[in-house]
Amino acid sequence: MAEADLDVVIRHTAKAQNKSLMAAIKKRRDQIMARAAKAKDRESRDQLRLMARSTMELGAAAAKRLQNSAEIAADAYARAIRHAAEEAAAKKAAAKSAKKKDGGKAAAKKAGKDG
């Protein structure tokens, strides 16, 4: 079932996106913290630190939502592929048992009608 490997690709891509997103969030937080360190008065420094903390919290929440969405999509894909494979196997088994049950009569009747 090589088709089911796509869910692994989805998970891997989401993990890579999550890493790059977290790196961008941390970079932005560090930039804000650097501005806070250069601030002249205590009020602006505290405000910038609060912004940095909020940036990190909100960014981490967004990254978590992205990761959860990818997990759900990968699970749904794997489940759909598994269901389709089971359905195909059931149809094949039903056709095989019907052919055995008829003893080939249905195929002969169909050939007679066609010709």
Dist. CA 113–CA 107, nearest whole Å: 10
Per-residue pLDDT of the chain (115 residues; tens, 9 = 90+): 455 588 889 999 999 999 999 999 999 999 999 999 999 999 999 999 999 999 999 999 999 999 999 999 999 998 998 899 899 888 888 888 877 777 656 555 555 565 4
Tell me the backbone φ, ψ of residue 68, rounded to 5 degrees. Answer: -65, -40
The structure tokens listed for 45 are: 């420094």
Tell me the backbone φ, ψ of residue 103, rounded to 5 degrees. Answer: 75, 20
Q: Are 95 and 46 in contact (CB under 8 A)?
A: no
The model's pTM is: 0.69
